[in-house]
Amino acid sequence: MLLSSGAIEAELSRVPDKDILDRIMGLYSAASDRVMITDTTEVRASRYYNEGMDPFDSLHLALAVEGLADVLLTVDDRMIKTAARIGSSIRVANPVNWLMEVI
């Protein structure tokens, strides 16, 4: 299942290339569930931030955990390494690497 959130939409609004954004939005439109920011999400995101994660990445990870995601896909190597270091309860992986494992 693909999740949506306001944090993802804020991130997508910063994509400058319209062609790339159109392709991403084609995938994103398949999102079946929306994860909302709650007090619990904010507490969790603060914990990740205090452990060294970027503020926006902290929110993405907290939302993925709240949404019971199996994996959070990102091309941000720093986020992947930080999530592993802090012992994230869900896997954070590069989409290409993850796809090669899945197929």
In this predicted structure, what is the pLDDT of residue 1? 81
Domain boundaries of the chain, sorted by first residue: 3-102
Contact status, residue 5 vs residue 61, Cβ threshold 8 Å: no
Query: pTM of the prediction?
Result: 0.90
Q: One digit per residue, pLDDT tens: the chain, 103 residues?
A: 899 999 999 999 999 999 999 999 999 999 999 999 999 999 999 999 999 999 999 999 999 999 999 999 999 999 999 999 999 999 999 999 999 999 9
Alpha helices in the chain (DSSP H): 6-12, 18-28, 39-50, 55-66, 77-86, 95-102
**3-102 CATH, one of 1.10.8.50, 3.30.70.120, 3.10.620.30, 3.40.50.1010:** 3.40.50.1010
Q: How large a percentage of the chain has pLDDT more than 90?
A: 99
CA dihedral of 56, 22, 81, 98, whole degrees rounded to 10: 140
Q: 102's torsion region: left (phi>0), alpha (psi -120 to 50) or beta? A: alpha
